[in-house]
Amino acid sequence: MKTVNDIDFKGKKALIRVDFNAPLDESQTITDDTRIRAAIPTIKKVLADGGSVVLMSHLGRPKKGPEEKLSLKPVANHLSKILDLEVKFASNCIGSSTENLANNLKNGEVLLLENLRFYKEETAGDVAFAKSLSVLGDIYVNDAFGTAHRAHASTAIIAQFFPNQKFFGLLMARELENVELVMKNPKSPFTAIIGGAKVSSKISIIENLLDKIDNLVIGGGMAYTFIKAQGGTIGNSLVEDDYLEMALRVLKLAEEKNVHILLPEDSAIANEFSPNADHSECATKNIPDGWMGMDIGTDAIEKYKTCIENSQTILWNGPMGVFEFDKFEAGTKQAAFAVVRATEKGAYSLVGGGDSVAAVNKYDLKDHVSYVSTGGGALLELIEGKELPGVVAIMS
Ligand code: AMP
């Protein structure tokens, strides 16, 4: 894998695709700068070598052209503070004024382009747009793992204009290396903990994992589709009736492949989807009418903990219940602490994909697991076994 560590940027201009899609509040203040900080090591490497940096990113989903509330200008200001140097800003991504700014950039300086998605050509993967961007740098670097699953102009198409001058950024390299650790030659027992709302969004991941894992721990709203498929009564719990057959097929496949499946035998239930709902516990296959499964139950928690703590490799995607409501967080919280204990005993643990990351952050455990991925969709597609256009573009 060719990374920025394989090249000296002295006197060179690096054109770096980063993922600065940070959440902003109404007054355009950045509420979480994790994504911005994740790109700092790559930027610093280029600057330390004596090169200059042109950064490009998207922010949000602008519908039709420029929208002031989705401008990257506040990000330039924030980045200036982190880097302790003035970050210049180009209010257009392409064209002569931007080319002048890039050409006049001195070694040690940084320029950030306006939101790439103000141009519809970006998501369309337009070759001419990619070519116009490519003149802004000598070397192309992709450090935007969060958008690596998109074949957009700046994430993949642009790479063809840098045949021998394209490299992975340090964040991208770290993400790929960590996924490789779990997907190629994982240490056994390998446990995948899969939760979250919908089975439909996780089915391909589960199918791809069945050849590699020893245990599949299922929780969250998706568990109830499996329980109903097995003939259980699930009250008002979340269910995807279109996936009942698929759920049975996965269970059968797992049995054929000797994968031990853990479904919650009991559940914490609520009489409404609310943090203040009445709370009770029952067998998951006998949830009364008018009640819904909100979390795995006490017995399930104990079984899941034992399984997780005896694992050598752990992949965790998706919460075990509605952990945002304190009454229904026990399953997710206990699973998180079990992952930490397994890691302390020497297991390798990768947490990734949306809400499981939020859960790890809720309990302040991110430094106690092996790796927390910054990628949502990109990570899930890698686990599904797909090739990411942003990765292929650098490799080829
Ligand atoms: P996902 O994005 O598919 O990983 O789903 C995450 C969401 O699933 C979180 O917001 C959880 O609150 C929700 N969730 C987890 N368990 C349940 C459940 N039993 N019923 C409804 N929603 C759930």
pLDDT recorded at residue 289: 97
C-alpha 319 – ligand 1 centre gap (Å): 6
Q: Which residues are catalytically annotated?
A: 35, 198, 354, 377
Residues with beta carbon inside 6 Å of ligand 1? 196-198, 201, 220-221, 238, 293-294, 318-319, 321-322, 324, 354-355
Whether residues 109 and 190 fall in one domain: no
Whether residues 204 and 227 fall in one domain: yes
Q: Which of 238, 243, 272, 281 to mutate to test the pocket of ligand 1 (most atoms within 8 A of CB)?
A: 238
- Give every strand in the sheet of 266-270, ordered side by side: 279-283, 266-270, 292-296
Whether residues 154 and 201 fall in one domain: no
Domain-ending residue, one of 139, 173, 207: 173
Tokens of 144: 């935007």
The amino acid at residue 51 is: G
C-alpha 219 – ligand 1 centre gap (Å): 9
Structural domain tally of the chain?
2
- Which of 188, 243, 192, 241 minimizes the C-alpha distance to 219? 192
Cα 104 to Cα 245: distance, rounded to the nearest angstrom: 61
Q: Is residue 181 part of a domain?
A: no
Domain-ending residue, one of 114, 140, 173: 173
The protein residue whose alpha carbon is closest to atom 2 in ligand 1 is 196
Q: Is residue 287 part of a domain?
A: yes
Whether residues 149 and 221 fall in one domain: no
Whether residues 59 and 141 fall in one domain: yes
Q: Is residue 179 part of a domain?
A: no
Whether residues 71 and 110 fall in one domain: yes
Give the pLDDT of the chain (396 residues) as one tens digit per residue. 899 999 999 999 999 999 999 988 888 899 889 899 999 999 999 999 999 999 999 999 999 899 999 999 999 999 999 999 999 999 999 999 999 999 999 999 999 999 999 999 999 999 999 999 999 999 999 999 999 999 999 999 999 999 999 999 999 999 999 999 999 989 999 999 999 999 999 999 999 999 999 999 999 999 999 999 999 999 999 999 999 999 999 999 999 999 999 999 999 999 999 999 999 999 999 999 999 999 999 999 999 999 999 999 999 999 999 999 999 999 999 999 999 999 999 999 999 976 888 899 999 999 999 999 988 889 999 999 999 999 999 998
pLDDT recorded at residue 329: 97
Give the contacts of 184 (CB within 8 A, at least 6 positions apart). Answer: none
Whether residues 207 and 121 fall in one domain: no
Q: What's the whole-model pTM score?
A: 0.91
Query: What Cα–Cα distance (Å) separates residue 201 from each residue in 251, 272, 286?
Result: 17, 24, 26
Whether residues 194 and 168 fall in one domain: no
Cα 271 to Cα 88: distance, rounded to the nearest angstrom: 55
Q: Which of 295, 296, 316, 355 to mutate to test the pocket of ligand 1 (most atoms within 8 A of CB)?
A: 355
pLDDT recorded at residue 355: 85
Whether residues 150 and 40 fall in one domain: yes
- Which of 244, 238, 251 minimizes the C-alpha distance to 197? 238
C-alpha 244 – ligand 1 centre gap (Å): 18
Nearest ligand 1 atom, CA 323: 12
Helix axes 40-49, 170-183, angle to 10 degrees: 130
C-alpha 356 – ligand 1 centre gap (Å): 10
SS3 content of the chain, % helix, strand, coil (to 5): 40, 20, 40
Q: Is residue 389 part of a domain?
A: no
Q: Is residue 396 part of a domain?
A: no
Whether residues 226 and 365 fall in one domain: yes
Domain that holds residue 227: 186-383
Q: Is residue 286 part of a domain?
A: yes
Domain-ending residue, one of 173, 197, 221: 173
Q: Which of 234, 243, 322, 325 to mutate to test the pocket of ligand 1 (most atoms within 8 A of CB)?
A: 322
DSSP 157: G
pLDDT recorded at residue 318: 94
C-alpha 353 – ligand 1 centre gap (Å): 12
Whether residues 351 and 222 fall in one domain: yes
pLDDT recorded at residue 307: 98
Q: Is residue 392 part of a domain?
A: no
The protein residue whose alpha carbon is closest to atom 10 in ligand 1 is 322
Cα 200 to Cα 192: distance, rounded to the nearest angstrom: 17
Q: Is residue 391 part of a domain?
A: no
**CATH code of residue 131:** 3.40.50.1260
Pairing of strands 266-270, 292-296: antiparallel
Nearest ligand 1 atom, CA 224: 19
Whether residues 159 and 197 fall in one domain: no
pLDDT recorded at residue 68: 92
